Each structure stands twice: as C-alpha cells, then as structure tokens.
C-alpha cells in the first residue's frame, strides 16, 4: 500500500515518534512524504521514504496529484491548526481530494493510530478493489 506522510513544522517530531512506534507496519508499505518530513523519517526512523518536494514548494500538490489518480491508499497529515500556513489553499485542496477520492485521511495522531492499526489488521483490502476498478475506467481527459 502507498502511505503519504506530511507534517507541519511543529508536528514533525510527533510524526517521527509515530513512525518509530509503528515501524513494523511502515516497513511493509511504500512510504511517500513531503521534503523535510521525509528526510526526518528516513534519518531518524531508518525507514525507506520516497521524498517529494517540501509542502510549501509543491509537495502537497504532488501528493494531491497521486490522490487524484488513486495512487495513494492512506494520508497521514499531522497539521498544526493553530498556525496559519502560507500554502493553505494547497492544504485545503489536498483535504478535498482525499474526500472526493475516499482516501482515508488522518489529520491528528489519534486518527492516525486508528488508521494504522486498521491497516495492520488488513482492513484496507477494499482499496485493492477500488484501485482495480479505477484502472478500468476510460481516460478521456475531458469532463462530461
């Protein structure tokens, strides 16, 4: 499964600790992360991470593109709701795409733990069905 990790600056330490706690689960999956979050997870957790750009430099949009094409199975986005972000429209767009594509999304550590435990129990098998169906849809490139 493809798991996307994003964490605002004040939440990066929390993300690292979370990945360490569930390293055995993360090691069994493909991890993508925005710039600094990905670097910290790689260096501090010793987990392979496919790093994208930093969030403010387009990383959120890169993950959004993968969500829109149904290539992400789970997003863990530890947000700091008390700090205004200069790239807030990108964040909002990513959250909206997760809702549109029915991609499980955690924006806090409590929900992240519920989703990761669910993944450990293999409760995400339905994603394989969704992805197979998505691949069968015709790609017209236009809105009908």
Active site positions, annotated: 60
Of 77, 83, 112, nearest to 95 (Cα)?
77
Residues in the chain: 144
- Give the whole-angstrom CA distance, residue 102 versus residue 100: 6
**Cβ atoms 40, 11 nearer than 8 A:** no
Residue 30: which residues within 8 A CB-CB, separation 6 or more? Answer: 1, 2, 3, 50
User: d(Cα 134, Cα 35) in Å, to the nearest integer?
Assistant: 28
């Amino acid at each position: 499964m493809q798991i996307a990790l994003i964490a605002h600056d004040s939440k990066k330490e929390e993300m690292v600790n979370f990945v360490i706690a569930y390293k055995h689960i993360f090691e069994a999956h493909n991890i993508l992360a925005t710039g600094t979050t990905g670097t910290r997870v790689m260096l501090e957790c010793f987990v392979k991470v496919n790093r994208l750009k930093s969030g403010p430099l387009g990383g959120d949009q890169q993950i959004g593109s993968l969500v829109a094409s149904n290539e992400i199975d789970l997003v863990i986005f530890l947000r700091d709701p008390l700090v205004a972000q200069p790239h807030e429209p990108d964040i909002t767009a990513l959250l909206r795409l997760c809702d549109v594509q029915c991609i499980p999304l955690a924006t806090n550590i409590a929900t992240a733990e519920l989703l990761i435990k669910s993944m450990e129990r293999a409760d995400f098998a339905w994603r394989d069905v969704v992805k197979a169906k998505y691949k069968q849809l015709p790609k017209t490139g236009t809105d009908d």
